[in-house]
């Protein structure tokens, strides 16, 4: 973790032209943070400036759902955006660039960007499910009355949506001096198989309802966690959750999807944690979220062709 702590950063901030005055405000706030490693900030509306020689790309800007907008039209607008950004990465960024897609629908946008950047390995594209992962970890920790650091190996499977499956069957909790399974620590299977899952699945909506704005601080923290783990690796014996490219060889998830899996990272390379036992309860939830992604991919790929 030492090298990441010493690496100076140049931030290239891309937004659409009408938002440039707003972006100036973001630049001011970043300057006012007096961040020790932030060497330079370059705000721009030009892809050839924003994507030039990138080591890391965080794709946040997408088309939000507007009143009365059909799902298909929303997807079509996002396919256009992420096709463009994939092509710009292909043209201007380093071939080793690590791309994190945050803008929703994050999984499918990530797949579109990867497909539109054929010269960059698909493994270098991932989408954010770390926020869901952190939410799950925190729900378990609060229930046990311990810090979230004492809960490890929760898993988010599938789409970053309400069909995602937050899974605690491999989660370990350090409580009262020993390492317990999550089920032994919480002693309430009904909660773990019911309200726990729906709370994590619906958390984004709950935050919007309360704040009248979507998650911002927690999403930014999750983005930092995700990128830091790519750069510095995961801890021995621990895994995290990331939406990554499925080759069809893990857990029966169809190929050619960006699906959230448990991953371990070393030397800036992730590997799906492949040998976990999956019971019928988990399998049906993993399949349901995969089916949703297959349908969305097929619609998106049809738009990509035109
Ligand atoms: N995966 C996750 O866990 C997660 C978490 C939080 C937010 N999100 C998603 O991230 C996205 C952004 O959320 P937000 O709250 O920051 O929204 P926001 O509207 O505050 O910010 C989005 C910014 O992107 C810009 N933008 C739009 N289209 C662009 C384009 N083509 N090129 C460059 N910039 C463009 C907008 O002008 C705006 O400044 C949303 O889709 C949101 O649903 C995902
Ligand atoms: C998958 O999740 C995204 C949020 O990232 C959501 O917008 C989309 O509708 C989901 N896909 C389907 C097919 O429901
Ligand atoms: C587990 O928790 C105890 C306190 O309950 C703490 O002393 C110990 O360091 C923790 N172990 C790990 C691996 O974090
Ligand atoms: C780490 O990855 C780089 C680039 O892929 C490779 O050249 C190097 O040999 C790897 N190092 C180790 C220790 O695996
Ligand atoms: C990204 O691609 C490079 C090769 O260009 C590879 O060495 C590296 O492991 C990939 N990164 C990830 C996160 O898989």
Q: Which atom of ligand 2 is nearest to the CA of 295?
A: 13
> Mind listing the pLDDT tens digit for each residue in 266-280?
999 999 999 999 999
Final residue of a domain: which of 76, 102, 127?
A: 127
Structural tokens at position 37: 């490693």
Same domain as 166, residue 277: yes
Q: Total structural domains in the chain?
A: 2
Instruction: Express each pLDDT in 197-251 by its tens digit.
Output: 999 999 999 999 999 999 999 999 999 999 999 999 999 999 999 999 999 999 9
Residue 302 placed within a domain: no
Give catalytic status of residue 226 as yes or no.
no
Tell whether 62 is covered by a domain.
yes
CATH number at residue 243: 3.90.110.10
Tallying the residues shown for the chain, one arrives at 306
Catalytic residue among 133, 160, 170, 226: 160
Asked if the model's pLDDT at residue 7 lies above 90, the reply is no
Segments forming the whole domain that contains residue 40: 2-127
* CB atoms closer than 10 angstroms to residue 279: 9
- The whole-number pLDDT of residue 204 equals 96
**Mind listing the pLDDT tens digit for each residue in 276-293?**
999 999 999 999 999 999
* Cα-to-chain-centroid distance, residue 196: 20
142 with 278, same domain: the answer is yes
Q: How far is CA 109 from CA 95, 128, 179, 243, 279, in A?
A: 19, 11, 39, 11, 30
Please indicate, yes or no, whether residues 65 and 165 belong to a single structural domain of this protein: no
pLDDT score at 300: 97
Residues 160 and 189 placed together within one structural domain of the fold: yes
State how far the Cα of 261 lies from the Cα of 160, in Å rounded to an integer.
11
In a domain, 297, yes or no: no
CA dist., res. 241 & res. 253, Å (int): 15
**In this predicted model, what pLDDT tens digit does every residue of 91-141 receive, in sequence order?**
999 999 999 999 999 999 999 999 999 999 999 999 999 999 999 999 999
Are 11 and 110 within one domain? yes
Q: Is residue 299, in this structure, part of any structural domain at all?
A: no
Q: Is 207 helix (H, G, I), strand (E, B) or coil?
A: helix
Asked if 28 and 136 sit in the same domain, the reply is no
Do the domain assignments include residue 236? yes
* CA dist., res. 148 & res. 150, Å (int): 5
Read off the pLDDT of residues 154-192 as tens digits, 9 standing for 90 and up.
999 999 999 999 999 999 999 989 999 999 999 999 999
Please report, in range form, the residues annotated as the binding site for NAD(+): 15, 78, 102-104
Closest residue by Cα to atom 3, ligand 5, is: 96
pLDDT at residue 274, rounded to an integer: 95
Task: Report CA torsion sign: 250, 284, 292, 183.
Answer: negative
Q: Do residues 13 and 95 share a domain?
A: yes
Q: Tell me, what's the pLDDT at 306?
A: 64
**In which band, very low, low, confident or very high, does the pLDDT at 5 lie, cut at 50, 70 and 90?**
low
- Mutational pocket test of ligand 5: of 96, 118, 267, the residue with most ligand atoms within 8 Å of the beta carbon: 96
The predicted-structure confidence for 46-103, as pLDDT tens digits, reads as follows 999 999 999 999 999 999 888 888 989 999 999 999 999 999 999 999 999 999 999 9
Which among 266, 265, 267, 248 has a CA at the least distance from the CA of 256? Answer: 248
Cis amide linkage into residue 82, ω under 30° from 0: no
**Sign (positive or negative) of CA dihedral 86, 90, 92, 93:** positive
Token couple for 294:
């297959």
Residue 3: pLDDT over 80: no
Query: What is the reported pLDDT for 1?
Result: 43
According to DSSP, residue 234 is labeled P
d(CA 267, ligand 4 centre) in Å: 6
> In terms of domains, do 120 and 253 share one?
no
pLDDT of 4 > 70? The answer is no
- CB neighbourhood size of 123 (10 A): 15
Residue 15 has pLDDT above 50, yes or no: yes
Per-residue pLDDT at 36: 94
90 and 30: one domain? yes
């Amino acid at each position: 973790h030492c090298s990441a702590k010493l690496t100076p950063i140049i931030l290239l901030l891309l937004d659409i032209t009408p938002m440039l005055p707003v972006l100036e405000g973001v630049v001011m706030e970043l300057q006012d943070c007096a961040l020790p490693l932030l060497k330079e900030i370059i705000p721009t509306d030009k892809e050839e400036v924003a994507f030039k020689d990138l080591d890391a790309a965080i794709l946040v800007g997408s088309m939000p759902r507007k009143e009365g907008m059909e799902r298909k039209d929303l997807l079509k607008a996002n396919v256009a955006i992420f096709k463009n950004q994939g092509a710009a990465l292909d043209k201007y960024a380093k071939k080793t660039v690590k791309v994190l897609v945050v803008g929703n629908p994050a999984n499918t946008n990530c797949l579109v960007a990867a497909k539109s950047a054929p010269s960059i390995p698909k493994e270098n594209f991932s989408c954010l499910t770390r926020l869901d992962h952190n939410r799950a970890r925190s729900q378990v920790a609060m229930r046990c009355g311990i810090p979230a650091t004492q809960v490890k190996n929760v898993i988010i499977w599938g789409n970053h949506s309400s069909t995602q499956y937050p899974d605690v069957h491999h989660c370990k909790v350090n409580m009262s001096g020993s390492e317990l399974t999550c089920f032994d620590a919480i002693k309430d299977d009904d909660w773990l198989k019911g309200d726990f899952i729906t709370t994590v699945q619906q958390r984004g909506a709950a935050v919007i309802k309360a704040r009248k704005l979507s998650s911002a601080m927690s999403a930014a923290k999750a983005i930092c966690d995700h990128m830091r783990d790519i750069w510095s690796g995961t801890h021995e014996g621990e895994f995290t959750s990331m939406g990554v490219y499925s080759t069809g060889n893990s857990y029966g998830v169809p190929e050619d999807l960006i699906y959230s899996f448990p991953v371990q990272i070393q030397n800036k390379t992730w590997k799906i944690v492949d040998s976990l036992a999956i019971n019928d309860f988990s399998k049906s939830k993993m399949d349901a979220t995969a089916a949703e992604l297959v349908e969305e991919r097929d619609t998106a790929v049809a738009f990509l062709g035109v």
